[in-house]
Structure 1
Amino acid sequence: MLPMGESMALWIPFTIFAAFMQAWRNAFQNRLSKEVSTAGVTLARFLWASPLAACYLAGLYLYKPVALPVVTGSFVALILLAAVAQIIATALMVVLFRQRNYAIGVGLAKSEAVIAAVLGALFFSAPLSALAWAGVIIGALAFWLMTNPGALRKVSLNTLLVGLGSGLSFALTTLWVREASLTLGLPFPYSAAWVLLAVILVQTLLLGAWVAWRERGTLLALWQRPGQIVSISLFSCLGSLGWFTAMSLETVALVKTLGQIEVLFTLMISARWFRETLSSRDLVGLALIVVGAVCVMLA
Protein backbone atom coordinates (compact mmCIF):
# COMPACT_ATOMS: atom_id res chain seq x y z
CA MET A 1 0.00 0.00 0.00
CA LEU A 2 1.06 3.57 -0.59
CA PRO A 3 2.12 5.82 2.29
CA MET A 4 -0.66 8.08 3.50
CA GLY A 5 0.88 11.29 2.16
CA GLU A 6 1.46 9.79 -1.28
CA SER A 7 -2.08 8.42 -1.54
CA MET A 8 -3.51 11.78 -0.48
CA ALA A 9 -1.61 13.39 -3.34
CA LEU A 10 -2.53 10.77 -5.97
CA TRP A 11 -6.33 10.80 -5.65
CA ILE A 12 -6.50 14.39 -6.93
CA PRO A 13 -4.87 13.84 -10.37
CA PHE A 14 -6.78 10.57 -10.81
CA THR A 15 -10.04 12.42 -10.10
CA ILE A 16 -9.24 15.25 -12.51
CA PHE A 17 -8.27 12.71 -15.17
CA ALA A 18 -11.55 10.82 -14.61
CA ALA A 19 -13.61 14.01 -14.82
CA PHE A 20 -11.95 15.00 -18.11
CA MET A 21 -12.46 11.54 -19.66
CA GLN A 22 -16.07 11.41 -18.46
CA ALA A 23 -16.84 14.81 -19.94
CA TRP A 24 -15.80 13.57 -23.37
CA ARG A 25 -17.66 10.28 -22.92
CA ASN A 26 -20.82 12.20 -22.10
CA ALA A 27 -20.31 14.36 -25.17
CA PHE A 28 -20.08 11.31 -27.44
CA GLN A 29 -23.08 9.74 -25.70
CA ASN A 30 -25.06 12.94 -26.15
CA ARG A 31 -24.44 12.85 -29.90
CA LEU A 32 -25.31 9.14 -30.12
CA SER A 33 -28.50 9.68 -28.09
CA LYS A 34 -29.97 11.54 -31.09
CA GLU A 35 -29.61 8.40 -33.23
CA VAL A 36 -29.96 5.36 -30.93
CA SER A 37 -32.30 4.32 -28.09
CA THR A 38 -31.50 4.97 -24.45
CA ALA A 39 -30.55 1.32 -23.87
CA GLY A 40 -28.28 1.40 -26.91
CA VAL A 41 -26.46 4.53 -25.80
CA THR A 42 -26.00 3.00 -22.34
CA LEU A 43 -24.69 -0.27 -23.80
CA ALA A 44 -22.22 1.63 -25.98
CA ARG A 45 -20.16 2.65 -22.95
CA PHE A 46 -19.55 -1.00 -22.00
CA LEU A 47 -19.12 -2.87 -25.31
CA TRP A 48 -15.39 -2.33 -25.80
CA ALA A 49 -14.58 -1.37 -22.22
CA SER A 50 -14.15 -4.97 -20.98
CA PRO A 51 -11.12 -5.84 -23.16
CA LEU A 52 -9.58 -2.47 -22.35
CA ALA A 53 -10.01 -3.08 -18.61
CA ALA A 54 -8.61 -6.61 -19.00
CA CYS A 55 -5.53 -5.28 -20.82
CA TYR A 56 -4.97 -2.72 -18.06
CA LEU A 57 -5.19 -5.40 -15.36
CA ALA A 58 -2.89 -7.75 -17.30
CA GLY A 59 -0.40 -4.93 -17.71
CA LEU A 60 -0.31 -4.36 -13.96
CA TYR A 61 0.46 -8.04 -13.30
CA LEU A 62 3.13 -8.12 -16.01
CA TYR A 63 4.76 -5.08 -14.45
CA LYS A 64 4.58 -6.41 -10.88
CA PRO A 65 2.77 -9.65 -10.00
CA VAL A 66 0.80 -9.69 -6.74
CA ALA A 67 -1.60 -12.15 -5.14
CA LEU A 68 -4.88 -12.92 -6.90
CA PRO A 69 -8.01 -11.67 -5.11
CA VAL A 70 -10.11 -13.90 -2.89
CA VAL A 71 -13.68 -13.54 -4.13
CA THR A 72 -16.27 -13.51 -1.35
CA GLY A 73 -20.04 -13.39 -1.36
CA SER A 74 -20.04 -9.77 -0.19
CA PHE A 75 -17.71 -8.81 -3.05
CA VAL A 76 -20.01 -10.43 -5.62
CA ALA A 77 -23.06 -8.70 -4.11
CA LEU A 78 -21.35 -5.30 -4.14
CA ILE A 79 -20.27 -5.76 -7.78
CA LEU A 80 -23.80 -6.69 -8.85
CA LEU A 81 -25.32 -3.74 -7.00
CA ALA A 82 -22.77 -1.30 -8.41
CA ALA A 83 -23.17 -2.62 -11.96
CA VAL A 84 -26.97 -2.34 -11.97
CA ALA A 85 -26.92 1.08 -10.29
CA GLN A 86 -24.51 2.47 -12.90
CA ILE A 87 -26.65 1.14 -15.77
CA ILE A 88 -29.70 2.90 -14.30
CA ALA A 89 -27.71 6.09 -13.68
CA THR A 90 -26.38 6.20 -17.24
CA ALA A 91 -29.81 5.53 -18.75
CA LEU A 92 -31.35 8.35 -16.70
CA MET A 93 -28.60 10.73 -17.77
CA VAL A 94 -29.31 9.92 -21.42
CA VAL A 95 -32.94 10.82 -20.71
CA LEU A 96 -31.68 14.13 -19.29
CA PHE A 97 -29.81 14.80 -22.53
CA ARG A 98 -33.14 14.65 -24.34
CA GLN A 99 -34.91 16.94 -21.86
CA ARG A 100 -32.40 19.79 -21.69
CA ASN A 101 -29.15 20.68 -23.41
CA TYR A 102 -25.93 18.72 -22.94
CA ALA A 103 -24.23 20.88 -20.30
CA ILE A 104 -27.33 21.16 -18.11
CA GLY A 105 -28.04 17.44 -18.39
CA VAL A 106 -24.61 16.65 -16.96
CA GLY A 107 -25.02 19.39 -14.33
CA LEU A 108 -28.23 17.78 -13.07
CA ALA A 109 -26.55 14.39 -12.82
CA LYS A 110 -23.84 15.99 -10.66
CA SER A 111 -26.26 15.89 -7.73
CA GLU A 112 -24.39 12.62 -7.29
CA ALA A 113 -21.67 14.40 -5.30
CA VAL A 114 -24.10 15.81 -2.75
CA ILE A 115 -25.98 12.53 -2.35
CA ALA A 116 -22.74 10.56 -2.03
CA ALA A 117 -21.53 12.91 0.72
CA VAL A 118 -24.73 12.51 2.73
CA LEU A 119 -25.00 8.74 2.29
CA GLY A 120 -21.30 8.27 2.95
CA ALA A 121 -21.48 10.22 6.20
CA LEU A 122 -24.66 8.45 7.37
CA PHE A 123 -24.11 4.84 6.29
CA PHE A 124 -20.50 4.30 5.16
CA SER A 125 -18.48 5.75 8.05
CA ALA A 126 -17.08 8.62 5.94
CA PRO A 127 -17.52 11.88 7.92
CA LEU A 128 -16.41 15.18 6.38
CA SER A 129 -14.66 18.25 7.75
CA ALA A 130 -16.39 21.63 7.92
CA LEU A 131 -14.59 22.88 4.80
CA ALA A 132 -15.50 19.72 2.89
CA TRP A 133 -19.15 20.14 3.88
CA ALA A 134 -18.94 23.74 2.67
CA GLY A 135 -17.87 22.41 -0.71
CA VAL A 136 -20.76 19.95 -0.73
CA ILE A 137 -23.30 22.67 0.18
CA ILE A 138 -21.94 24.99 -2.50
CA GLY A 139 -22.28 22.12 -4.97
CA ALA A 140 -25.88 21.61 -3.88
CA LEU A 141 -26.61 25.31 -4.49
CA ALA A 142 -25.07 25.03 -7.93
CA PHE A 143 -27.23 21.99 -8.65
CA TRP A 144 -30.38 23.90 -7.65
CA LEU A 145 -29.50 26.88 -9.82
CA MET A 146 -28.96 24.70 -12.85
CA THR A 147 -32.07 22.59 -12.22
CA ASN A 148 -34.36 25.59 -11.71
CA PRO A 149 -33.62 28.11 -14.46
CA GLY A 150 -36.69 30.26 -13.74
CA ALA A 151 -38.96 31.10 -10.85
CA LEU A 152 -39.69 28.45 -8.23
CA ARG A 153 -43.16 27.82 -9.65
CA LYS A 154 -41.64 27.01 -13.05
CA VAL A 155 -39.36 24.20 -11.89
CA SER A 156 -39.75 21.04 -13.97
CA LEU A 157 -40.64 18.26 -11.54
CA ASN A 158 -39.91 15.59 -14.14
CA THR A 159 -36.44 16.96 -14.87
CA LEU A 160 -35.75 17.32 -11.15
CA LEU A 161 -36.75 13.72 -10.42
CA VAL A 162 -34.76 12.29 -13.33
CA GLY A 163 -31.73 14.33 -12.30
CA LEU A 164 -31.98 13.24 -8.67
CA GLY A 165 -32.53 9.64 -9.76
CA SER A 166 -29.42 9.72 -11.91
CA GLY A 167 -27.40 11.35 -9.14
CA LEU A 168 -28.62 8.85 -6.53
CA SER A 169 -27.80 5.90 -8.77
CA PHE A 170 -24.33 7.23 -9.55
CA ALA A 171 -23.72 7.91 -5.85
CA LEU A 172 -24.71 4.38 -4.85
CA THR A 173 -22.50 3.01 -7.62
CA THR A 174 -19.43 4.81 -6.33
CA LEU A 175 -20.10 3.94 -2.69
CA TRP A 176 -20.52 0.24 -3.52
CA VAL A 177 -17.45 0.31 -5.80
CA ARG A 178 -15.32 1.68 -2.97
CA GLU A 179 -16.61 -0.94 -0.56
CA ALA A 180 -15.92 -3.71 -3.09
CA SER A 181 -12.38 -2.41 -3.60
CA LEU A 182 -11.71 -2.36 0.14
CA THR A 183 -12.93 -5.96 0.59
CA LEU A 184 -10.23 -7.33 -1.72
CA GLY A 185 -7.35 -6.12 0.45
CA LEU A 186 -4.97 -5.86 -2.53
CA PRO A 187 -2.31 -3.15 -2.91
CA PHE A 188 -2.81 -0.01 -4.98
CA PRO A 189 -3.93 0.01 -7.80
CA TYR A 190 -4.74 -3.70 -8.21
CA SER A 191 -7.97 -3.74 -6.19
CA ALA A 192 -9.44 -0.91 -8.28
CA ALA A 193 -8.41 -2.69 -11.50
CA TRP A 194 -10.15 -5.93 -10.46
CA VAL A 195 -13.32 -4.06 -9.48
CA LEU A 196 -13.26 -2.13 -12.76
CA LEU A 197 -13.08 -5.31 -14.83
CA ALA A 198 -15.71 -7.13 -12.74
CA VAL A 199 -18.23 -4.26 -12.89
CA ILE A 200 -17.81 -3.73 -16.65
CA LEU A 201 -18.14 -7.45 -17.40
CA VAL A 202 -21.39 -7.70 -15.42
CA GLN A 203 -22.78 -4.57 -17.06
CA THR A 204 -21.93 -5.79 -20.56
CA LEU A 205 -23.57 -9.17 -19.97
CA LEU A 206 -26.72 -7.79 -18.30
CA LEU A 207 -27.41 -4.91 -20.67
CA GLY A 208 -26.25 -6.82 -23.74
CA ALA A 209 -28.71 -9.62 -22.98
CA TRP A 210 -31.52 -7.10 -22.41
CA VAL A 211 -30.90 -5.27 -25.69
CA ALA A 212 -30.57 -8.56 -27.62
CA TRP A 213 -33.91 -9.68 -26.17
CA ARG A 214 -35.92 -6.48 -26.44
CA GLU A 215 -34.19 -4.25 -29.01
CA ARG A 216 -32.43 -6.31 -31.66
CA GLY A 217 -32.60 -3.39 -34.07
CA THR A 218 -30.49 -1.40 -31.61
CA LEU A 219 -27.64 -3.91 -31.95
CA LEU A 220 -27.63 -3.32 -35.70
CA ALA A 221 -27.63 0.44 -35.15
CA LEU A 222 -24.59 0.13 -32.86
CA TRP A 223 -22.83 -2.16 -35.36
CA GLN A 224 -23.27 0.52 -38.02
CA ARG A 225 -21.52 3.14 -35.87
CA PRO A 226 -18.19 1.52 -34.90
CA GLY A 227 -16.26 4.77 -34.53
CA GLN A 228 -18.74 6.27 -32.10
CA ILE A 229 -19.01 3.07 -30.07
CA VAL A 230 -15.25 2.65 -29.73
CA SER A 231 -14.88 6.30 -28.67
CA ILE A 232 -17.58 6.02 -26.02
CA SER A 233 -16.20 2.74 -24.65
CA LEU A 234 -12.63 4.05 -24.60
CA PHE A 235 -13.40 7.26 -22.75
CA SER A 236 -15.82 5.43 -20.45
CA CYS A 237 -13.19 2.86 -19.51
CA LEU A 238 -10.54 5.52 -18.91
CA GLY A 239 -12.96 7.58 -16.84
CA SER A 240 -13.99 4.60 -14.73
CA LEU A 241 -10.34 3.68 -14.27
CA GLY A 242 -9.70 7.13 -12.85
CA TRP A 243 -12.79 7.11 -10.62
CA PHE A 244 -12.25 3.61 -9.26
CA THR A 245 -8.57 4.27 -8.56
CA ALA A 246 -9.25 7.60 -6.84
CA MET A 247 -11.98 6.05 -4.70
CA SER A 248 -9.63 3.28 -3.58
CA LEU A 249 -7.46 6.05 -2.10
CA GLU A 250 -9.99 8.56 -0.75
CA THR A 251 -13.62 8.71 0.41
CA VAL A 252 -16.32 8.91 -2.24
CA ALA A 253 -17.66 12.26 -1.02
CA LEU A 254 -14.33 14.04 -1.54
CA VAL A 255 -13.62 12.35 -4.87
CA LYS A 256 -17.04 13.09 -6.30
CA THR A 257 -17.16 16.66 -5.04
CA LEU A 258 -13.82 17.41 -6.65
CA GLY A 259 -15.05 15.48 -9.68
CA GLN A 260 -17.72 18.11 -10.22
CA ILE A 261 -15.10 20.04 -12.19
CA GLU A 262 -16.24 17.70 -14.95
CA VAL A 263 -18.96 20.27 -15.53
CA LEU A 264 -16.29 22.88 -16.29
CA PHE A 265 -14.90 20.57 -18.98
CA THR A 266 -18.48 19.99 -20.11
CA LEU A 267 -19.02 23.73 -20.52
CA MET A 268 -15.97 23.99 -22.75
CA ILE A 269 -17.10 21.04 -24.88
CA SER A 270 -20.67 22.33 -25.01
CA ALA A 271 -19.60 25.76 -26.22
CA ARG A 272 -16.98 24.65 -28.73
CA TRP A 273 -18.42 21.38 -30.08
CA PHE A 274 -22.21 21.57 -29.70
CA ARG A 275 -22.43 25.37 -30.11
CA GLU A 276 -24.85 25.51 -27.19
CA THR A 277 -25.41 28.66 -25.17
CA LEU A 278 -25.96 28.89 -21.41
CA SER A 279 -27.81 31.49 -19.40
CA SER A 280 -26.08 33.64 -16.78
CA ARG A 281 -27.79 31.52 -14.12
CA ASP A 282 -26.25 28.39 -15.60
CA LEU A 283 -22.82 30.03 -15.65
CA VAL A 284 -23.15 30.99 -11.97
CA GLY A 285 -24.03 27.37 -11.16
CA LEU A 286 -20.98 26.10 -13.03
CA ALA A 287 -18.75 28.63 -11.25
CA LEU A 288 -20.07 27.51 -7.87
CA ILE A 289 -19.24 23.92 -8.74
CA VAL A 290 -15.63 24.98 -9.26
CA VAL A 291 -15.64 26.80 -5.91
CA GLY A 292 -17.00 23.70 -4.20
CA ALA A 293 -14.27 21.58 -5.76
CA VAL A 294 -11.60 23.98 -4.50
CA CYS A 295 -13.02 23.74 -0.97
CA VAL A 296 -12.69 19.95 -1.09
CA MET A 297 -9.09 20.14 -2.32
CA LEU A 298 -8.23 22.44 0.59
CA ALA A 299 -10.15 20.37 3.18
Structure 2
Amino acid sequence: MWIAFTVLAAFMQAWRNAFQSQLSQEVNIAGVTLARFIWAGPIALFYLFSLYQWQPTEIPYFNFSFCLFVIGASLMQILATGLMVKLFKMQNFAVGAGLAKSEALVAAILGVLFFGTQLTLLGWLGVVIGGIAIMLLSAKQGFKQLSIKTVLLGLACGSAFALTSLWVREASLQLDAPFPHGAAWVLLAVISLQTLLLVGYLLVYDKLTLTDLFKRPKLTLLISITSCIGSIGWFTAMSLQAVPYVKTLGQIEVFFMMLIASFWLKQKVKVNDMLGLLLIAVAAILVMWN
Protein backbone atom coordinates (compact mmCIF):
# COMPACT_ATOMS: atom_id res chain seq x y z
CA MET A 1 0.00 0.00 0.00
CA TRP A 2 2.89 2.38 0.70
CA ILE A 3 4.03 1.92 -2.90
CA ALA A 4 0.65 3.02 -4.29
CA PHE A 5 0.54 6.11 -2.08
CA THR A 6 4.13 6.99 -3.04
CA VAL A 7 3.41 6.76 -6.77
CA LEU A 8 0.32 8.96 -6.30
CA ALA A 9 2.41 11.48 -4.36
CA ALA A 10 5.18 11.53 -6.98
CA PHE A 11 2.72 12.06 -9.83
CA MET A 12 0.86 14.91 -8.11
CA GLN A 13 4.08 16.56 -6.90
CA ALA A 14 5.46 16.60 -10.43
CA TRP A 15 2.43 18.60 -11.57
CA ARG A 16 2.61 20.85 -8.52
CA ASN A 17 6.26 21.62 -9.31
CA ALA A 18 5.34 22.40 -12.91
CA PHE A 19 2.62 24.82 -11.82
CA GLN A 20 4.95 26.39 -9.23
CA SER A 21 7.64 26.80 -11.88
CA GLN A 22 5.14 28.67 -14.04
CA LEU A 23 3.92 30.86 -11.17
CA SER A 24 7.52 31.67 -10.13
CA GLN A 25 7.89 33.66 -13.34
CA GLU A 26 5.20 36.08 -12.14
CA VAL A 27 5.20 35.98 -8.32
CA ASN A 28 8.00 36.17 -5.74
CA ILE A 29 9.29 33.24 -3.67
CA ALA A 30 7.02 33.89 -0.67
CA GLY A 31 3.97 34.01 -2.91
CA VAL A 32 4.79 30.80 -4.77
CA THR A 33 5.44 29.08 -1.44
CA LEU A 34 2.09 30.23 -0.03
CA ALA A 35 0.28 29.02 -3.17
CA ARG A 36 1.20 25.51 -2.07
CA PHE A 37 -0.77 25.82 1.17
CA ILE A 38 -3.39 28.57 0.86
CA TRP A 39 -6.27 26.40 -0.43
CA ALA A 40 -4.88 23.07 0.79
CA GLY A 41 -6.27 23.45 4.33
CA PRO A 42 -9.95 23.02 3.39
CA ILE A 43 -9.05 20.03 1.20
CA ALA A 44 -7.13 18.40 4.07
CA LEU A 45 -10.04 19.08 6.46
CA PHE A 46 -12.53 17.51 4.04
CA TYR A 47 -10.25 14.48 3.63
CA LEU A 48 -10.00 14.00 7.41
CA PHE A 49 -13.78 14.43 7.81
CA SER A 50 -14.37 11.83 5.10
CA LEU A 51 -12.09 9.34 6.85
CA TYR A 52 -14.11 9.66 10.07
CA GLN A 53 -17.34 9.16 8.13
CA TRP A 54 -15.87 6.04 6.56
CA GLN A 55 -14.26 4.69 9.74
CA PRO A 56 -15.50 6.43 12.92
CA THR A 57 -13.00 6.46 15.78
CA GLU A 58 -12.00 8.60 18.73
CA ILE A 59 -10.00 11.78 18.21
CA PRO A 60 -6.38 11.06 19.25
CA TYR A 61 -4.50 12.79 22.04
CA PHE A 62 -2.00 15.36 20.77
CA ASN A 63 1.04 15.28 23.06
CA PHE A 64 3.87 17.81 23.32
CA SER A 65 6.20 15.78 21.09
CA PHE A 66 3.57 15.74 18.36
CA CYS A 67 3.33 19.54 18.50
CA LEU A 68 7.12 19.95 18.31
CA PHE A 69 7.43 17.64 15.31
CA VAL A 70 4.56 19.45 13.53
CA ILE A 71 6.15 22.85 14.13
CA GLY A 72 9.55 21.63 12.95
CA ALA A 73 8.12 19.98 9.83
CA SER A 74 6.03 23.05 8.99
CA LEU A 75 8.95 25.47 9.19
CA MET A 76 11.34 23.16 7.35
CA GLN A 77 8.87 22.56 4.50
CA ILE A 78 8.39 26.31 4.05
CA LEU A 79 12.17 26.70 3.83
CA ALA A 80 12.48 23.77 1.43
CA THR A 81 9.76 25.10 -0.86
CA GLY A 82 11.36 28.55 -0.93
CA LEU A 83 14.72 27.00 -1.88
CA MET A 84 13.08 24.97 -4.64
CA VAL A 85 11.47 28.09 -6.10
CA LYS A 86 14.92 29.70 -6.10
CA LEU A 87 16.22 26.66 -8.00
CA PHE A 88 13.49 27.17 -10.59
CA LYS A 89 14.82 30.68 -11.18
CA MET A 90 18.41 29.42 -11.61
CA GLN A 91 17.85 26.32 -13.76
CA ASN A 92 15.17 24.87 -15.97
CA PHE A 93 12.20 23.15 -14.35
CA ALA A 94 13.36 19.53 -14.62
CA VAL A 95 16.88 20.20 -13.30
CA GLY A 96 15.71 22.43 -10.44
CA ALA A 97 13.17 19.94 -9.16
CA GLY A 98 15.56 17.03 -9.78
CA LEU A 99 18.21 18.55 -7.52
CA ALA A 100 15.71 18.75 -4.68
CA LYS A 101 15.28 14.96 -4.90
CA SER A 102 18.63 14.54 -3.11
CA GLU A 103 16.37 14.31 -0.04
CA ALA A 104 16.23 10.50 -0.28
CA LEU A 105 19.97 10.09 0.37
CA VAL A 106 19.99 12.80 3.04
CA ALA A 107 16.94 11.24 4.74
CA ALA A 108 18.73 7.86 4.83
CA ILE A 109 21.82 9.34 6.49
CA LEU A 110 19.91 11.50 8.99
CA GLY A 111 17.40 8.73 9.66
CA VAL A 112 20.07 6.18 10.56
CA LEU A 113 22.10 8.66 12.64
CA PHE A 114 19.33 10.40 14.59
CA PHE A 115 15.93 8.74 14.09
CA GLY A 116 16.60 5.04 14.59
CA THR A 117 15.93 4.16 10.95
CA GLN A 118 17.21 0.73 9.91
CA LEU A 119 18.09 0.02 6.27
CA THR A 120 19.15 -3.28 4.75
CA LEU A 121 22.13 -3.57 2.39
CA LEU A 122 19.72 -3.77 -0.55
CA GLY A 123 17.94 -0.67 0.74
CA TRP A 124 21.20 1.29 1.00
CA LEU A 125 22.14 0.20 -2.52
CA GLY A 126 18.86 1.56 -3.85
CA VAL A 127 19.25 4.86 -2.00
CA VAL A 128 22.85 5.35 -3.22
CA ILE A 129 21.96 4.53 -6.84
CA GLY A 130 19.14 7.03 -6.58
CA GLY A 131 21.59 9.65 -5.34
CA ILE A 132 23.92 9.00 -8.29
CA ALA A 133 20.95 9.40 -10.62
CA ILE A 134 20.18 12.80 -9.12
CA MET A 135 23.77 13.92 -9.71
CA LEU A 136 23.46 12.94 -13.37
CA LEU A 137 20.18 14.81 -13.70
CA SER A 138 21.66 17.97 -12.19
CA ALA A 139 24.56 18.17 -14.64
CA LYS A 140 24.29 20.66 -17.50
CA GLN A 141 26.98 19.42 -19.88
CA GLY A 142 28.48 16.67 -17.76
CA PHE A 143 30.02 16.77 -14.30
CA LYS A 144 32.82 19.17 -15.27
CA GLN A 145 30.27 21.85 -16.10
CA LEU A 146 28.20 21.27 -12.96
CA SER A 147 27.39 24.51 -11.13
CA ILE A 148 28.65 24.29 -7.52
CA LYS A 149 26.20 26.99 -6.42
CA THR A 150 23.28 25.11 -7.91
CA VAL A 151 24.39 21.79 -6.38
CA LEU A 152 24.75 23.33 -2.91
CA LEU A 153 21.37 24.98 -3.17
CA GLY A 154 19.87 21.69 -4.34
CA LEU A 155 21.45 19.80 -1.44
CA ALA A 156 20.17 22.41 1.03
CA CYS A 157 16.70 22.06 -0.47
CA GLY A 158 16.88 18.27 -0.34
CA SER A 159 18.09 18.35 3.28
CA ALA A 160 15.21 20.60 4.29
CA PHE A 161 12.72 18.28 2.59
CA ALA A 162 14.40 15.28 4.26
CA LEU A 163 14.01 16.77 7.73
CA THR A 164 10.40 17.63 6.91
CA SER A 165 9.69 14.02 5.98
CA LEU A 166 11.46 12.57 9.02
CA TRP A 167 9.58 14.87 11.40
CA VAL A 168 6.27 14.16 9.66
CA ARG A 169 6.78 10.43 10.22
CA GLU A 170 7.74 11.02 13.86
CA ALA A 171 4.61 13.15 14.36
CA SER A 172 2.36 10.43 12.94
CA LEU A 173 3.97 7.84 15.21
CA GLN A 174 3.04 9.95 18.24
CA LEU A 175 -0.68 9.53 17.58
CA ASP A 176 -2.77 6.60 18.75
CA ALA A 177 -4.94 6.63 15.65
CA PRO A 178 -5.85 3.97 13.07
CA PHE A 179 -4.53 4.02 9.52
CA PRO A 180 -4.77 6.43 7.72
CA HIS A 181 -6.31 8.82 10.26
CA GLY A 182 -3.00 9.62 11.99
CA ALA A 183 -1.33 10.80 8.80
CA ALA A 184 -4.41 12.89 7.96
CA TRP A 185 -4.22 14.67 11.34
CA VAL A 186 -0.54 15.46 10.78
CA LEU A 187 -1.33 16.78 7.30
CA LEU A 188 -4.08 19.09 8.56
CA ALA A 189 -1.92 20.37 11.42
CA VAL A 190 1.10 21.07 9.22
CA ILE A 191 -0.85 22.78 6.43
CA SER A 192 -2.88 24.91 8.87
CA LEU A 193 0.23 26.16 10.67
CA GLN A 194 2.06 26.87 7.42
CA THR A 195 -0.88 28.85 6.03
CA LEU A 196 -1.20 30.94 9.20
CA LEU A 197 2.53 31.69 9.29
CA LEU A 198 2.83 32.69 5.63
CA VAL A 199 -0.40 34.69 5.44
CA GLY A 200 0.54 36.51 8.65
CA TYR A 201 4.00 37.32 7.31
CA LEU A 202 2.68 38.64 4.00
CA LEU A 203 -0.07 40.69 5.66
CA VAL A 204 2.59 42.49 7.70
CA TYR A 205 5.44 42.75 5.21
CA ASP A 206 4.18 42.14 1.66
CA LYS A 207 0.46 42.60 1.01
CA LEU A 208 1.15 43.09 -2.69
CA THR A 209 2.14 39.43 -3.01
CA LEU A 210 -1.24 38.33 -1.64
CA THR A 211 -2.89 40.53 -4.25
CA ASP A 212 -0.73 38.93 -6.96
CA LEU A 213 -1.88 35.45 -5.91
CA PHE A 214 -5.57 36.38 -5.99
CA LYS A 215 -5.05 37.80 -9.48
CA ARG A 216 -4.03 34.28 -10.55
CA PRO A 217 -6.75 32.16 -8.91
CA LYS A 218 -6.66 29.23 -11.33
CA LEU A 219 -2.92 28.61 -11.10
CA THR A 220 -2.92 29.14 -7.33
CA LEU A 221 -5.78 26.68 -6.89
CA LEU A 222 -4.09 24.08 -9.09
CA ILE A 223 -0.91 24.33 -6.99
CA SER A 224 -2.86 23.91 -3.75
CA ILE A 225 -4.89 20.94 -5.02
CA THR A 226 -1.95 19.02 -6.45
CA SER A 227 0.14 19.85 -3.38
CA CYS A 228 -2.50 18.62 -0.94
CA ILE A 229 -3.19 15.37 -2.82
CA GLY A 230 0.55 14.81 -3.10
CA SER A 231 0.99 15.43 0.62
CA ILE A 232 -1.79 12.94 1.40
CA GLY A 233 0.24 10.38 -0.54
CA TRP A 234 3.58 11.26 1.07
CA PHE A 235 2.26 11.52 4.65
CA THR A 236 0.34 8.25 4.38
CA ALA A 237 3.22 6.35 2.79
CA MET A 238 5.67 7.62 5.43
CA SER A 239 3.34 6.49 8.21
CA LEU A 240 3.66 2.96 6.79
CA GLN A 241 7.30 2.76 5.65
CA ALA A 242 10.71 4.27 6.53
CA VAL A 243 11.31 7.66 4.91
CA PRO A 244 14.42 6.71 2.85
CA TYR A 245 12.52 3.90 1.09
CA VAL A 246 9.52 6.13 0.39
CA LYS A 247 11.68 8.98 -0.92
CA THR A 248 13.84 6.70 -3.06
CA LEU A 249 10.78 5.21 -4.76
CA GLY A 250 9.40 8.75 -4.93
CA GLN A 251 12.24 9.69 -7.26
CA ILE A 252 10.08 8.31 -10.08
CA GLU A 253 8.63 11.80 -9.82
CA VAL A 254 11.57 12.83 -12.02
CA PHE A 255 10.18 10.63 -14.80
CA PHE A 256 6.85 12.44 -14.57
CA MET A 257 8.70 15.79 -14.49
CA MET A 258 10.63 14.93 -17.64
CA LEU A 259 7.38 14.15 -19.44
CA ILE A 260 5.82 17.40 -18.26
CA ALA A 261 8.93 19.40 -19.13
CA SER A 262 9.04 17.90 -22.63
CA PHE A 263 5.39 17.88 -23.64
CA TRP A 264 3.84 20.70 -21.61
CA LEU A 265 6.65 23.20 -20.91
CA LYS A 266 8.41 22.38 -24.21
CA GLN A 267 11.85 22.07 -22.55
CA LYS A 268 14.56 19.83 -23.97
CA VAL A 269 15.60 16.67 -22.13
CA LYS A 270 19.31 15.73 -22.34
CA VAL A 271 20.99 12.35 -22.80
CA ASN A 272 22.21 12.48 -19.19
CA ASP A 273 18.57 12.71 -18.14
CA MET A 274 17.82 9.37 -19.81
CA LEU A 275 20.65 7.64 -17.94
CA GLY A 276 19.50 9.27 -14.71
CA LEU A 277 15.96 8.00 -15.25
CA LEU A 278 17.27 4.48 -15.85
CA LEU A 279 19.20 4.56 -12.56
CA ILE A 280 16.13 5.90 -10.73
CA ALA A 281 14.16 2.94 -12.09
CA VAL A 282 16.84 0.55 -10.75
CA ALA A 283 16.78 2.29 -7.35
CA ALA A 284 12.97 2.09 -7.22
CA ILE A 285 13.03 -1.64 -7.98
CA LEU A 286 15.61 -2.28 -5.26
CA VAL A 287 13.62 -0.52 -2.51
CA MET A 288 10.36 -2.20 -3.59
CA TRP A 289 12.00 -5.62 -3.49
CA ASN A 290 13.70 -4.85 -0.19
| Normalised TM-score (structure 2) | 0.98
Task: Work out the number of aligned pairs and report it.
Answer: 290
Q: Within the alignment, does 1:139 sit opposite 2:130 as a pair?
A: yes
Say whether residues 1:38 and 2:29 are aligned partners: yes
Find the counterpart in structure 1 of residue 120 from structure 2. 129
2:73 to 79, 82, 87: 82
> Which deviates the most, 143-152 or 97-106?
143-152
Return the match for 1:165 from 156, 169, 173. Answer: 156
Structure 2 gap ranges (5+): none
2:85 to 91, 94, 102: 94
Letter in structure 2 aligned against 1:72: N
| DSSP 3-state at the match of 1:248 | helix
Aligned-pair CA distance for 1:153: 4.8
CA distance in 2 between counterparts of 1:160 and 1:153 reads 13
Is 1:269 the counterpart of 2:255? The answer is no
Instruction: Tell me, in whole angstroms, the C-alpha distance in 2 between the residues paired with 1:91 and 1:227.
Output: 21
Q: Are the aligned partners of 1:264 and 1:290 in contact in 2 as well (CA < 8 Å)? A: no
Q: Matched residues in 2 for 1:287 and 1:224: separation?
A: 41
Say what the alpha-carbon RMSD is for the aligned residues. Answer: 1.1
Q: Which residue of 1 aligns with 2:104?
A: 113
Q: State the TM-score, normalized to the length of structure 1.
A: 0.95
Report the alpha carbon displacement of residue 38 of structure 1 after superposing the two structures with TM. Answer: 0.6
Note if 1:49 corresponds to 2:27: no
> Does the 8 Å CA contact 1:96/1:162 hold for their aligned counterparts?
yes
Corresponding residue number in structure 1 for 2:237 = 246
Distance 1:48 1:296 in 2: 34
1:274 offset after TM fit, Å? 0.5
Contact 1:15 1:258 in 2 (8 A): yes
1:231 to 215, 222, 234: 222
SS in 2 for 1:127: coil
Residue 151 of structure 1 deviates from its aligned partner by: 5.4
Identical-pair percentage: 53
Q: Following the alignment from structure 1 to structure 2, what is the Cα–Cα distance between the partners of residues 290 and 34?
A: 31
Amino acid at match of 2:201: W
Give the secondary structure class of the aligned counterpart of 1:46.
Answer: coil
Distance 1:102 1:153 in 2: 21
Residue 55 of structure 2: aligned partner: 64
